Structure 1
Amino acid sequence: MYISARERSILALLVGQEKALPIREIAKELEVSTRTIQRDLKGIESILEKFQLSLQREGSTLSIKGETERRVDIMSYIWSLEHEEYTPEERQVVLLAHLLRAVEPVKLYTLANELHVAVATVSADLQKAEKWLETFSLQLVKKRGYGVEVVGDEWMVRTALKKLISENLSEDYFYHLLSRDDSEPPTIVQEALSHLLYYVDVEVIKGVKQAISEWRQLVERRIVDSSYISLIIHVTLAVERIKAGERIELCRSQLEKMQEESEYALAQSLANKLSMILGMDIPEEEIGYFAMHIHALKWDEQKDEVLYGSDLVLAVQVKSLIEIIASKYHIHFEDQQLYKGLFAHMKPALYRIEHKMKIHNPLLAKIKEEYRELFEAVTSAAINVFKGINLPEEEIGFIVMHFGSAIELWRMKVNIRALVICSSGIGSSKLLASRLKKEFPEIAELHHASLFDLREEQIAQYDLVISTGPVPGRKDYIYVKPYLDYQEVEEIRRWLDSYIGKQRNLLEEFSKQQKELVPRYELNLFERLRDINQDVLTILQHFEARKLTEQTMEENLMSICAAYVQKGALHAAQDVVTSLLAREQSGGLAIPGTHLALFHTRHRDIKEPVFAVYELEEGMHRKGMDNQPTLVKRVLLLLAPEKMEEHRLLFISSISASIIENDASIHLYEYGEEAEIKAHLANQFKQYLQEMSSEG
């Protein structure tokens, strides 16, 4: 069955949509007239019938009706066709894929045959391809009699290939295709995957999928679906490049540093699975490459552990970001899910940025359109918070999704009733009410009335009153024009945000009172409270704030740890000191913008948690968490046993996070006396236990 390039484009637009699309939008997308689209519809209907689907025409809109499986079938079929013609966009994708995967120069006439176009057309297409490749620091080399080839770092070649696939591959369809039962006829699945991934061997994809599926069973944490698909594509491309003789290069020091991280062990186990299933050796550098990608994956129930230096800085940055957005929108985000969600996203995001690992955000255009103001606000806030780090729009888009969801939830929790009054009659009030409903979906009930029929008792029933004319005897209403201009929309938004904030506070207070009336008999809660309470007592018992007199940091730490051995908090001192200094060497422990350094570690020789403050006799310049030299006058010591239950570890993490919670806290740790700091800690611990008890 022959399907033209335009028919395929129309089908691709319609099949992926549940709602009807206006014909003019389809025509605009394909850069043709609406009449041209109308002419193609007869052929579209014939194609759909063969897949038990139908074309629905409602006025000037089009939609496809039928089961999801049939939609997947038709897209699989379309993708599997050997096309007689490509759209310009498809031609560009196939051209780039061909060039990126080639291991030697490709002649122009070979590309022309591949794309079913003239050599002159290929030459024109190469100009666009060259600009796209430049964004990955890749060069397109063209020489007469030599051909065309992509020159650049192998890392960036793979990044470009992955970007190309991610931008042109629907995760939903990819998931459906990978999840197909092997007993089904394989031709559609194999040909579709072959086309989607542009000549990657489908057997390699199946082998990689099997290896990752078996590997996932060994991993305690669960990867989110989008990261699962990303990992399959990432590893598949790596395997194909290894087979083609193209290898990733990592310097020995970088590789050795990776091998110390837990992600390398996960990458090693994945490489072992791949070796068994695909019958090939995975070089050491490629395992490091896998480890970097695993480090950047998103996991379900990602732990909020702020015990390491970089995490401490990130925790403060995330909180600052939330505060800036909260202030702009006059919202108080009490829900910890926003903080945890952003922290879980930003940790791998910063790792991706540091290692130039690009990410694809399929919803970016929609996010920028629907959350334009929020997108701009988050972009501006991110520049202030993450100084020196250029967050790409794709990452900003994901951050906006977190904030957008939190803001919508915050607004929807309050039930608002509004009355619209129009002096010009009930018809005008209906039109204005319709506009208000569209602009402010958080208004649960919206009624309209004429000013002449209005009674005082009616107005009293509503939270918000909006009128197009003066309301005699009343001051608490918003005066607007019938067409509602931009400034009036902003005024109503400010009123809603303020009102919702007040109502939320009342609801939370009521909820808190209700919780206090309900007895808790959950044994697990009491056990966790017991454990944390014991850690609180231990930390306060061991706490001290005194001066250090030794000449070097190592000598000071040795003296401190030896004293804690005598107190029974440590088994031995030397290995703990070595671990503390190694931690400083790898990441820096001085807190930027302060005279504090947080020396911290978890170690098998630590028996009980310890937190203490020490003042240096003379300030020392130490490596900061931002890798810059920082003058340190006080050392904060935080020690924890190597093996701790998650709830205890979260409590220990809260100590490090609270150190730089605000300016007052920083000032206290920089200049406070032992009694002041200990009282502050006791108060913090009391609050933590109260919140833990309240939340259950």
Structure 2
Amino acid sequence: MLLTKREEQLVRAFLQVGKLSLKEMADILQVSSRTVYRTLSDLMLTLEKDGIELIKDGRKYFLSGDLSILEESQSTDEVSASHRLILTAYQLLTSSTTIINEELQEQFWVSNVTVIQDVADIESRLKEFDLTIQRKRGYQVTGTPAQKRRFLAILLSNAISIQDFWNDHYPEFPILEKKQISSARRIFEEHQHLLGEVDSKLREFLIILLGLADNQDELLPVVNVSKEALDFSKHVFADLAKVSKKFYNLQEIIYFANILDQVIIKRQEIPLFREKFDSEFYYSISQMIDAVSRFTKINFFKDKLLFKLLFNHVRLSLAVPILFPEKASSNVAYLAAQQNKFLHSIVSLVMRDIFPAFIQNEFEYELVTLHFASSLRRSPDIYPIRLLLVTDERPLTTSVLISKIKNIAPFVELIDVQSTTNLSLVDSSQYDYCLTTKPIPKKEIDLISTFPNTQEILDLQEKLQLIQENRTVAERHELQTKATYDLQKYLEASSQILRNFELISVDNPLSFDQTVGQIVGILNFVTDAPYLTAKLLSRFELSPLAIPNTNLALLHTQSHTVNDSHFLLVELKNTVSALSMNHQNEEVKRVLVMLTKLNEQDEIRDMMTAISQSIIENNLYTEIYRTGNQEIIYQLLNTIFTEKIKKLEN
């Protein structure tokens, strides 16, 4: 079945959403109601040949018949506008000569006007990455080699699906040598455990960067990268050099380490014991939730999952932004934004105020709006049914699908998400039901749409209820490895921190640096005050931790100079100025000091982490730290430790 591009968009929307009104169709197609009527009329004639009807139900329309036929429908347009922009940008970035209009017109069968508009769109995107298009007998991208390579890696990550990348299928992009990429992928995966869990798309981006390393460009001067990133980069390039028989210079190693720092190492959910972390990014997520909550008068902090989901979504978007999104390609996100226009407008304004220009587009606003809208509908797990969901979709899309499943089946205990690349390692017998968002060859797994329509959701609900009613009771392994913990040790750890806690007052100097030195100097559990002072100030300079608009600053580290782990609060007689998490000056009146000895037991570290998260993430707790006396803060710490131990028990 051949469809026009507009017809294909409508069919996809019907399959994903179910019923659509004329206004919703006009919004999806970005056309007038008259054009929608014409498109529907043509679509009805095409569908009738395959026994599919377009039925009107009140003010909405839906498709009836064998809809599986539509999955195989093809568009008469060979290249979408988004893909055309990607291919054009790729040529501009990789061609050694200028590209002229006539070449692009002939390649894509488009008019000169379309080419000019495409180049303008690409140029606008390039500017956000400090790149420009030079017009001199054609087009050519100019800018630093470092930025050009990074933009190219993002572009290729956009263009190549995870499945195609892992199958080495990317014929449109010859700059990627299959042998080199295959080696880079294998070596990266061998060392990946050092980085922790990495999103599949972010992994693809980093492997492409490794594959593009060629020693040909002047990349970066020596920059202040973390030891963790530098060690990882050195190991990976050493192994890559052995396999490829190439020598990789220091610039390549530092360039890759610097990007690792930016996109992964400095942006961890629990950053307390990291050498470096991006405090501004960490704060920005909390700031976004707080701002949207204030403007909408809805307390989104009540949703314990929202911070984590937004953290991971924005982290991925900053690392691998969607450069040229299809208009209304994510119909559910688009319609969620249309149905929540006030929420969408607030999210858009807040994001413009907080995040960089290259993720400022409607596509991102709609996805983040959907995150907040989904937060209102999330429901807890109740009854013990296990599902396996096989998908390579982005985290936000996956979380929305999981929310829909949990909404219709609150008796689902666990939905385990696995990438297609990990499927061979998964024991499907450990699940009650398995689903996939894409057909998998030689695997009998039921298919579910990324954005299932109403009928599909109802069918799934019936299926899950049937599974629950007829479930066979059998011994099964724990899929989520539960951390073994000693309750007594956690109780002892909390008692030790509470026993050592105190609120002290100091008549301090007028400078922040001198104040830190004075505070450390009066701590009797520190053996080398000058060394520890220098370390704390160095860490604070790299990752400032004055909490914006609170008059609080946090000093934290672990050191061999600390004999006994302590958390204490210091009230300053004289206000001092320090750099905050959003890199503005903060007038500090209280300093929270969190010091752990080297090789401290995990239970103490866990409790210290719980305190640090309460300081940064919880506005109510922050206010107590800011104004409370010793007894009140002691009770707060007791509450935090009790909540932590309850989570472990559950």
Q: Could you tell me how far 1:408 is from its partner in structure 2?
A: 1.6
Residue 194 of structure 1 aligns to a residue whose secondary structure is coil
Q: Deviations over 1:49-70 (max 9, x none)?
A: xxxxxx965236697859x9xx
Q: How far did 1:98 drift?
A: 1.7
Question: 2:568 & 2:360 partners in 1: Cα distance?
Answer: 40
**Aligned 8 A contact 1:215 1:273 in 2:** no
Q: Matched residues in 2 for 1:298 and 1:231: separation?
A: 10
For residue 148 of structure 2, the aligned residue among 129, 150, 157 is 157
Partner secondary structure for residue 242 of structure 2:
helix
Higher normalized helix content (fraction of residues): 1
Give 2:562's aligned residue. 606
Is the partner of 1:639 in helix, strand or coil? Answer: strand
Q: CA deviation at 1:596?
A: 3.5
What does 1:174-189 align with in structure 2 at a 5 Å threshold? Answer: 174-175=162-163, 177-180=164-167
**Aligned residue for 2:500?**
539
Question: Cα offset for 1:202?
Answer: 2.9
For the 8 Å contact 2:237–2:253, the answer to whether it is kept is yes
CA distance in 1, matches of 2:148, 2:280: 33
Q: Which residue of 2 aligns with 1:194?
A: 171
The aligned counterpart of 1:249 is 219
Query: Quick check: 1:399 aligned with 2:368?
Result: yes
1:529 to 472, 484, 490: 490
Q: What CA distance in whole angstroms lies between the structure 1 residues aligned with 2:44 and 2:623?
A: 71
| Larger of the two Rg values belongs to structure | 1
In the alignment, the residues of structure 1 paired with residue 229 and residue 601 of structure 2 have an alpha-carbon distance, to the nearest angstrom, of 21
The partner residue of 1:336 within 300, 304, 325 is 304
**Distance in 2, Cα, partners of 1:647 & 1:402:** 33
Report the Cα distance in structure 2 between the residues aligned to 1:292 and 1:10, rounded to whole angstroms. Answer: 46
CA-CA distance at 1:635 after TM superposition: 3.3
CA distance in 1, matches of 2:237, 2:86: 30
- In structure 1, C-alpha distance between the alignment counterparts of 2:42 and 2:188, rounded to whole Å: 46
Measure, in 2, the Cα distance between the counterparts of 1:194 and 1:303: 37
Q: 2:528 aligns with which of 572, 576, 600?
A: 572
**Matched residue, 1:304:** 270
Instruction: Summarize deviations over 1:335-357 as a string: whole Å, max 9, x none.
Output: 522233334445666x65xxxx6
Q: Confirm whether residue 134 of structure 1 aligns to residue 95 of structure 2.
A: no
SS of the residue corresponding to residue 305 of structure 2 reads: helix
Distance 1:336 1:103 in 2: 51
Report the equivalent of 1:50: none
Q: Distance in 1 between matches of 2:175 and 2:616?
A: 53
Is 1:148 aligned to 2:139, yes or no? yes
Give the C-alpha shift of residue 677 in structure 1.
2.7
Unaligned runs of 5+ in 1: 43-54, 181-188, 414-440, 445-521
Give yes or no for contact 1:302–1:344 (8 Å, CA) kept in 2: no
Distance 1:89 1:586 in 2: 39
Offset, 1:102: 0.8
Please, which of 96, 102, 105 is the counterpart of residue 95 of structure 2? 102
Q: 2:582 aligns with which of 620, 626, 634?
A: 626
Q: Deviations over 1:139-193 (max 9, x none)?
A: 33343xx443222343443454345445544x3xx41x3455xxxxxxxx65xx2
Residue pair 1:154, 1:248 contacting (<8 A) in 2 also: yes
Letter in 1 for 2:197: R
Question: Residues 580 and 601 of structure 1 are in contact (CA less than 8 Å); yes or no, is this contact kept in structure 2?
Answer: yes
Alignment partners' CA distance in 1, 2:123 and 2:585: 38
State the identity as a percent. 16
TM-aligned CA distance change 1:400 to 1:265, over 3 Å: farther
Counterpart code for 1:59: E
CA contact (8 A) 2:88 2:104 kept: yes
Q: Which fold has the larger relative contact order, with Cα–Cα distance below 8 Å and residues 6 or more apart in sequence? A: 2
1:627-658 CA-to-partner distances (Å, cap 9, x unmatched) read: 33444444332212344455533421333444
Whether the 8 Å contact between 1:623 and 1:630 is mirrored in structure 2 is yes
- Structure 2 letter corresponding to 1:58: I
Matched letter for residue 341 of structure 1: L
Deviation of residue 622 (structure 1)? 3.3
- Taking a change above 3 Å as real, the CA distance of residues 560 and 389 of structure 1, as seen in their structure-2 partners, is same
Q: Confirm or deny that 1:684 pairs with 2:636.
A: yes
Shift of 1:583: 1.8
2:151, 2:536 → 1: CA distance?
40
**Cα 1:111–1:368, aligned 2, differ >3 Å: closer, same or farther?**
closer
Query: What is the correspondence of 1:5-24 to structure 2 with a 5 Å cutoff?
Result: none
Per-residue deviation at 1:101? 0.9
CA distance in 2, matches of 1:372, 1:28: 14
**Equivalent runs, 1:617-696 vs 2, <5 Å:** 618-644=574-600, 647-659=603-615, 677-695=629-647, 696=649
Q: From 235, 248, 253, give the equivalent of 1:269.
A: 235
Aligned to 2:469: none
